[in-house]
C-alpha cells in the first residue's frame, strides 16, 4: 500500500482518495495513516512488529510463556487484520482508474503528520505485549520478577513513545489550529491520553511490586486495562460516534466490528485476571512510606483516567444505543482533573524522599525544609502578583515544593565521584519533567483569548501588548489557491518587539479556509495571533491569545520522555537471565518453573538463603543502595557448587562439564 501511494496507483480507491499528483512524496506516504483503511492496515502491521519484539524478548527471559503469549498476540493481530479486510479493504479498486486523486486534507499537510500519528500508533500497539503477558501470567498464575521485568521493559518503551507523540500532537494543534490552546479535551485526544495514564500507573505499580518481591493484583489489572483502553480508542476514532476534529469519516460497520474486538479483549482480560492469586497475603504499607506514596500516586493517576474515560466514552455509548447525542464540555474535565493533578504534583517530589520502611530518607530533612520554604515563598509571590486563577494559584507553590526536591535529588545523582544510576537518575529527570509540565499547564490556564477588530493603520490593546495593522497582501499559492497575509506590529511598554504575519489560505476548489497562526514565543509568555477574516475595506478580525509558560509544557514533556528513556537503559541491560543469574548481579534470577508442590501463586520463586548466609539483595534494594555499596558474598557451604540456589527453587543444578548424557553434544 505504501508503494501504491508513493507511485500514485490511482486504480486503488484508497490511493485516489488520499493523494494527488501535487502531493509531495513524504505526504503521499503519510496517506498510509491518513485514512480509515490505511490506518487499520498500518496498525495491524505495527502490532505484528510489536508481537515479534515481544516474543524475541520472551524467548530468552520467559520461554515458558512463549507459546501462550504468541497465541494471544497472533489472535489480536488477526482480529485487526480481519476487521480491515472485511470492513475497510485498502486494496479495493475503481472500475476506471482515476486521472488524479483528491489528496490529503490541507490541514494534514504539516510536518507533524509525518511523525505524530506513527508515534501514537507505535506506543499503543506496544502495550499489547504487557497485555498478553498479563493474560497468560494471570491465567497460569506464573507471574514473578522476570515477568515484571519484561512488563516494565515494554510498558516503559510504549510510555516514552506515547509521551513524545502526544507532545508533538499538542504542539501541532497549538501552532496550527489558532484557537489559543494545545489540549481541547477532544475525544480522540483523550483516547491517546487514557492509555498513557494507564501505563503511568502500571510503571509505578511495577516498582512497588519489585521492591515487595511479589506481584499484586493491581499490576496485571493495570496491564490489562491499559490495552483495553488503547483498543477502545480505536473504536472511538473510527466509529463516527465521537464528535472530533481528529476522527475519521463515519463508518459504523468498522466501529461495530472493532467494538466486538474490544468486548472480546475485555472479557479475556477479566477472566484471566480473576485467576490471579498474589502470594504472601495482603501487603502492609506504612502510612508515610515510599510504597504508600507510590500506591497513592497510582490511585490518583487511575482517578484521572476514570474521570477522562467517563467524560469521553459516555456520549459515545449513549449514541450507540440510540440515545440523544450530547458532548461533555471541557469545564467538566478541568474541574475534576485539577485536584487529582495537584495531588500528583505533590507526590512526584515527595515520594522518592520517603523510605520504604517509612519516614524520610536520611539527609532529606533539610531538603524538605528548603522545599517547604520555596513553596511558601512562591505562594506569597503569586498572591502579591495578583494571580487569581485557582488551579494556577494552587499549583505554583506545589511546583516549587516538588521542583526543589527533585532538583536537589538530581544534583545528588550528578555529583562528583558518584556513579550515575540509570533508573534512579532517569526517574528524577522524568519527575522534573512532570513538575515543569504541570507548572506550564497551570500557568497557561491563567491566559486570555479575545477577538479584536483592527482597521488599517490602527492600534489595539491585548493585555500588556499593542497590535498595529500594517497592511494586507494577497498572493496565489503554488497550487493556485489564494493566500491572505496580514502584517501586525507587536509592541510592549512602547517598544516594538516583533512583526507577526498571521495568514489565511483559501482553498477555492475545496471551499475551505485554513488559518495559519503567527506566534511569538518566549519562556515566560506566548502571543498567538490568528486571522479570522479580512473585510473588503481592509479591516481585519483577529483572535489574539496571551498564554504564560506554554514553552514549559514543551520542555516538561520532552524532559518526561528523556527521563523515561534514561530509566529504561537499566531495565534493557538488566533483565533476568533464565540461566541462573541477573545481568547486573543484583540478585539471583527467579525460577522460571512453578513449584512442584503447594498452590500456584504469582510470586518469585527465589531460593531461600542457606543457613547462616545473608539473603541476596533484590534488584530494588540494589538500586537503592548507596553508590559503591555491595552485599558481601556468602562463603559457599561445604560441598556446595554453582546451581545450589537454583536447586532449592526446584531447578536441577547444571551437570559438571565432561562426557556424560547431559553434556552438550552427548545426546542430552
- Phi, psi at 466, each rounded to 5°: -125, 135
Q: What percent of the chain has pLDDT over 90?
A: 48
Which alpha helices (DSSP H) does 62-186 contain, by range? Answer: 66-87, 116-126, 128-140, 145-176
**Most distant pair of Cα atoms in the chain: their distance:** 99
DSSP 362-422: TT-HHHHHHHHHHHHHHHHHHHHTT---HHHHHHHHHHHHHHHHHHHHHHHHTSTT----H
- DSSP-derived letter for residue 547 is E
The neighbour count for residue 536, using CB atoms within 10 Å, is 5
- DSSP-derived letter for residue 480 is S
pLDDT band with cut points at 50, 70 and 90 for residue 245: low
pLDDT in tens, 82-94: 999 998 899 999 9
pLDDT in tens, 106-154: 888 889 999 999 999 999 999 999 999 999 988 888 888 888 989 999 9
Pairwise CA distance, residues 62 & 202, whole Å: 20
- Asked if the model's pLDDT at residue 552 lies above 90, the reply is yes
Q: What's the pLDDT at 420?
A: 76
Q: What's the pLDDT at 240?
A: 61
The neighbour count for residue 98, using CB atoms within 10 Å, is 16
Buried/exposed 29-62: b ≥16 CB within 10 Å, e otherwise: bbbbbbbbbbbbbbbbbbbbebbeebbebbeebb
For the four alpha carbons of 624, 630, 635 and 639, in that order, the dihedral sign comes to: positive
pLDDT in tens, 456-473: 999 999 988 999 999 999
Q: Helix, strand or coil for residue 495?
A: strand
Q: What percent of the chain has pLDDT over 70?
A: 81
pLDDT band with cut points at 50, 70 and 90 for residue 217: confident
pLDDT band with cut points at 50, 70 and 90 for residue 239: low
Question: Which of 58-72, 553-567, 641-655 comes out lowest in average pLDDT?
Answer: 641-655
Q: What's the pLDDT at 244?
A: 59
Mean pLDDT, range 359-377, rounded to an integer: 89
Mean pLDDT of the chain: 81
Mean pLDDT, range 141-170, rounded to an integer: 92
Mean pLDDT, range 325-353, rounded to an integer: 91
- Asked if the model's pLDDT at residue 509 lies above 80, the reply is no
Question: Which of 15-19, 139-143, 187-191, 641-645 comes out lowest in average pLDDT?
Answer: 641-645
Q: Are 543 and 449 within 8 A, CB to CB?
A: yes
Question: Which of 83-97, 138-152, 158-172, 556-570 comes out lowest in average pLDDT?
Answer: 138-152
Q: What's the pLDDT at 188?
A: 86
Pairwise CA distance, residues 243 & 188, whole Å: 9
Mean pLDDT, range 387-409, rounded to an integer: 93
The domain segmentation of the chain, as residue ranges, is: 2-328, 448-552
CA 595 to chain centre: 37
- DSSP lists the bridge partners of residue 486 as 472
pLDDT band with cut points at 50, 70 and 90 for residue 432: very high
Pairwise CA distance, residues 500 & 489, whole Å: 6
Q: What's the pLDDT at 179?
A: 78
- Asked if the model's pLDDT at residue 186 lies above 80, the reply is yes
- Asked if the model's pLDDT at residue 312 lies above 70, the reply is yes
Mean pLDDT, range 344-370, rounded to an integer: 87
Distances (CA, A) of 619 to 106, 364, 506, 540, 644: 52, 23, 60, 64, 20
Pairwise CA distance, residues 243 & 235, whole Å: 13
Q: What's the pLDDT at 551?
A: 96
Mean pLDDT, range 221-229, rounded to an integer: 94
Q: Helix, strand or coil for residue 541?
A: strand
Pairwise CA distance, residues 428 & 409, whole Å: 7
Mean pLDDT, range 418-443, rounded to an integer: 91
Pairwise CA distance, residues 61 & 638, whole Å: 31
Mean pLDDT, range 367-371, rounded to an integer: 92
- DSSP-derived letter for residue 655 is P
Q: What's the pLDDT at 339?
A: 95
Mean pLDDT, range 34-54, rounded to an integer: 94
Give the number of C-alpha atoms closer than 13 A to the C-alpha of residue 212, restricted to the C-beta side: 30
Radius of gyration of the chain (CA): 28
- Asked if the model's pLDDT at residue 615 lies above 70, the reply is no
- Phi, psi at 450, each rounded to 5°: -145, 150
Distances (CA, A) of 435 to 132, 167, 200, 370, 372: 33, 15, 15, 17, 15
| Residue 380: partners with Cβ closer than 8 Å, 6 or more residues away | none
Q: What's the pLDDT at 60?
A: 83
Q: What's the pLDDT at 282?
A: 57
Mean pLDDT, range 18-44, rounded to an integer: 91
653 backbone φψ class: left, alpha, beta (φ>0; ψ -120 to 50): beta
Pairwise CA distance, residues 279 & 292, whole Å: 19
Q: What's the pLDDT at 249?
A: 52
- Asked if the model's pLDDT at residue 348 lies above 50, the reply is yes
Per-residue three-class SS string for 235-254: HHHHCCCCCCCCCCCCCHHH
Q: What's the pLDDT at 629?
A: 39
Pairwise CA distance, residues 441 & 550, whole Å: 7
pLDDT band with cut points at 50, 70 and 90 for residue 59: confident
For the ranges 281-290, 381-390, 608-617, the one whose mean pLDDT is highest = 381-390
- Asked if the model's pLDDT at residue 604 lies above 80, the reply is no
Top pLDDT among 288 and 604 is at 288
Pairwise CA distance, residues 69 & 140, whole Å: 11
- Asked if the model's pLDDT at residue 661 lies above 50, the reply is no
Amino acid at each position: 500500500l505504501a508503494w501504491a501511494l508513493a507511485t500514485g496507483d490511482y486504480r486503488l480507491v484508497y490511493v485516489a482518495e488520499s493523494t494527488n499528483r501535487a502531493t509531495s512524496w513524504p505526504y503521499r506516504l503519510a496517506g498510509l495513516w491518513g485514512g480509515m483503511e490505511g490506518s487499520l492496515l498500518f496498525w495491524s502491521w505495527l502490532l505484528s512488529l510489536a508481537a515479534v519484539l515481544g516474543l524475541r524478548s520472551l524467548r530468552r527471559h520467559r520461554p515458558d510463556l512463549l507459546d501462550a503469549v504468541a497465541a494471544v498476540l497472533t489472535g489480536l493481530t488477526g482480529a485487526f487484520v480481519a476487521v480491515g479486510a472485511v470492513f475497510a479493504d485498502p486494496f479495493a479498486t475503481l472500475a476506471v482508474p482515476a486521472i488524479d486523486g483528491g489528496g490529503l486534507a490541507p490541514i494534514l499537510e504539516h510536518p507533524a503528520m509525518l511523525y505524530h500519528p506513527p508515534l501514537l500508533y507505535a506506543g499503543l500497539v506496544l502495550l499489547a505485549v504487557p497485555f498478553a503477558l498479563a493474560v497468560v501470567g494471570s491465567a497460569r498464575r506464573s507471574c514473578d520478577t522476570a515477568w515484571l521485568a519484561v512488563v516494565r521493559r515494554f510498558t516503559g518503551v510504549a510510555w516514552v513513545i506515547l509521551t513524545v507523540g502526544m507532545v508533538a500532537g499538542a504542539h501541532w494543534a497549538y501552532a496550527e489550529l489558532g484557537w489559543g490552546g494545545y489540549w481541547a479535551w477532544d475525544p480522540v485526544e483523550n483516547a491517546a491520553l487514557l492509555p498513557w495514564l494507564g501505563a503511568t500507573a502500571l510503571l509505578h505499580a511495577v516498582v512497588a511490586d519489585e521492591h515487595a518481591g511479589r506481584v499484586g493484583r493491581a499490576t496485571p489489572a493495570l496491564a490489562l486495562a491499559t490495552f483495553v483502553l488503547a483498543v477502545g480508542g480505536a473504536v472511538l476514532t473510527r466509529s463516527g460516534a465521537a464528535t472530533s476534529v481528529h476522527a475519521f469519516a463515519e463508518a459504523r460497520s468498522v466501529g461495530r466490528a472493532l467494538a466486538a474486538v474490544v468486548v472480546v479483549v475485555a472479557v479475556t482480560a477479566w477472566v484471566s485476571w480473576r485467576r490471579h492469586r498474589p502470594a504472601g497475603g495482603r501487603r502492609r504499607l506504612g502510612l508515610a512510606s515510599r510504597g504508600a506514596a507510590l500506591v497513592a500516586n497510582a490511585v490518583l493517576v487511575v482517578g484521572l483516567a476514570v474521570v477522562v474515560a467517563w467524560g469521553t466514552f459516555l456520549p459515545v455509548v449513549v449514541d450507540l444505543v440510540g440515545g440523544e447525542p450530547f458532548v461533555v464540555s471541557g469545564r467538566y474535565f478541568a474541574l475534576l482533573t485539577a485536584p487529582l493533578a495537584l495531588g500528583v504534583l505533590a507526590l512526584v517530589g515527595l515520594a522518592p524522599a520517603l523510605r520504604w520502611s517509612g519516614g524520610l530518607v536520611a539527609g532529606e530533612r533539610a531538603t524538605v525544609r528548603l522545599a517547604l520554604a520555596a513553596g511558601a515563598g512562591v505562594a506569597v509571590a503569586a498572591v502579591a502578583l495578583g494571580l487569581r486563577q485557582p488551579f494556577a494559584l494552587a499549583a505554583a507553590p506545589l511546583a516549587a515544593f516538588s521542583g526543589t526536591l527533585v532538583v536537589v535529588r538530581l544534583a545528588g545523582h550528578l555529583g562528583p565521584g558518584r556513579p550515575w544510576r540509570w533508573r534512579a537518575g532517569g526517574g528524577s529527570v522524568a519527575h522534573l519533567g512532570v513538575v515543569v509540565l504541570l507548572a506550564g499547564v497551570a500557568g497557561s490556564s491563567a491566559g486570555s483569548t479575545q477577538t479584536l477588530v483592527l482597521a488599517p493603520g490602527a492600534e489595539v490593546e491585548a493585555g500588556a501588548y499593542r497590535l498595529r495593522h500594517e497592511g494586507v497582501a494577497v498572493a496565489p499559492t503554488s497550487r493556485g489557491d489564494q493566500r491572505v497575509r496580514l502584517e501586525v506590529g507587536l509592541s510592549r511598554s512602547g517598544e516594538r518587539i516583533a512583526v507577526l504575519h498571521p495568514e489565511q489560505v483559501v482553498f477555492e476548489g475545496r471551499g475551505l479556509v485554513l488559518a495559519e497562526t503567527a506566534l511569538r514565543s518566549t519562556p515566560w509568555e506566548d502571543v498567538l495571533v490568528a486571522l479570522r477574516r479580512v473585510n473588503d475595506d481592509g479591516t481585519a478580525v483577529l483572535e489574539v491569545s496571551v498564554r504564560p509558560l506554554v514553552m514549559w509544557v514543551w520542555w516538561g514533556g520532552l524532559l518526561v520522555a528523556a527521563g523515561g528513556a534514561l530509566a529504561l537503559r537499566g531495565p534493557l541491560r538488566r533483565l533476568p537471565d533464565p540461566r541462573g543469574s541477573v545481568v547486573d548481579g543484583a540478585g539471583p534470577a527467579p525460577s522460571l518453573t512453578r513449584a512442584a508442590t503447594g498452590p500456584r501463586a504469582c510470586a518469585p520463586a527465589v531460593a531461600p538463603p542457606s543457613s547462616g548466609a545473608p539473603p541476596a539483595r533484590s534488584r530494588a534494594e540494589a538500586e537503592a543502595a548507596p553508590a559503591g555499596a555491595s552485599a558481601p558474598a556468602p562463603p559457599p557451604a561445604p560441598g556446595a557448587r554453582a546451581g545450589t540456589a537454583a536447586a532449592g527453587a526446584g531447578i536441577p543444578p547444571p551437570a559438571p562439564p565432561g562426557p556424560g548424557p547431559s553434556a552438550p553434544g552427548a545426546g542430552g
